[in-house]
Amino acid sequence: MDFYEVIRTRRSVRSFKPDPIPEDVIKRVLEAARIAPSGSNRQPWKFILIKERSAKEEVAKLCHGQGFIAEAPLVIVACGRRIDFNRGDYMGDMSMLVDVSIAVDHLVLAARAEGLGSCWIGAFNNSALKEFLGIPEDYNVVAVIPIGYPARDAFKETSDRKPLGEIICHERFQ
């Protein structure tokens, strides 16, 4: 599938068929995350794959009760290590958020290219998720991604974005 078609037609999918995802497909999607760039190539990420029903239900509960998460055949919890990496004194601790988000976006776009729907979940209880999943102290959860084949036609282009003229300026902030 053409790259631009992938990014035009990726949508947040919140309703999934129960069909399992073939292992070779999962592997390709994970590979897309694995090869993502990161600051100084530190790769401060870890991806927890959850397929077990009761675990998915608990994760959905800890994502402020977003029940549809448990309906996905696969839920990926993307974690990042607090690398305390000094990027010009600015990002520090937060630099892993940039790194892990890039990897998750690779993953989400690869999922779309495979005909899979996903939804980036940013609303969750980090400390409760850490405890439930045994995530070490120096890691935090960055995103929870339910993935599966969409229950209905989901890959539609959207017009729900600001126009370029509103988000681009030249030479100075305007």
Ligand X SMILES: Cc1cc2nc3c(=O)[nH]c(=O)nc-3n(C[C@H](O)[C@H](O)[C@H](O)COP(=O)(O)O)c2cc1C
Contacting positions for ligand X (CB under 6 A): 11-12, 14, 66, 119-123, 158
For residues 48 and 97, which CB has a smaller minimum distance to ligand X in the complex? 97
d(CA 166, CA 168): 6
Nearer to ligand X, 85 or 124 (CB): 124
Helix axes 126-133, 53-62, angle to 10 degrees: 160
Residue whose C-alpha is closest to residue 147's, from 97, 113, 108, 174: 108
Give the residue with the Cβ less far from ligand X, 43 or 125.
125
Mutual angle of helices 23-34 and 95-113, in 10-degree steps: 140
> Shortest gap between Cβ of 66 and ligand X (angstroms)?
6
- Name 45's bridge partners: 80
Nearest distance in Å: CB 147, ligand X? 14
Residue whose beta carbon is closest to ligand X = 122
CB of 64 to ligand X, least distance (A): 7
Between the two ends of the chain, the Cα-to-Cα distance in Å is: 37
Q: How far is the CB of 42 from ligand X (least distance, A)?
A: 21
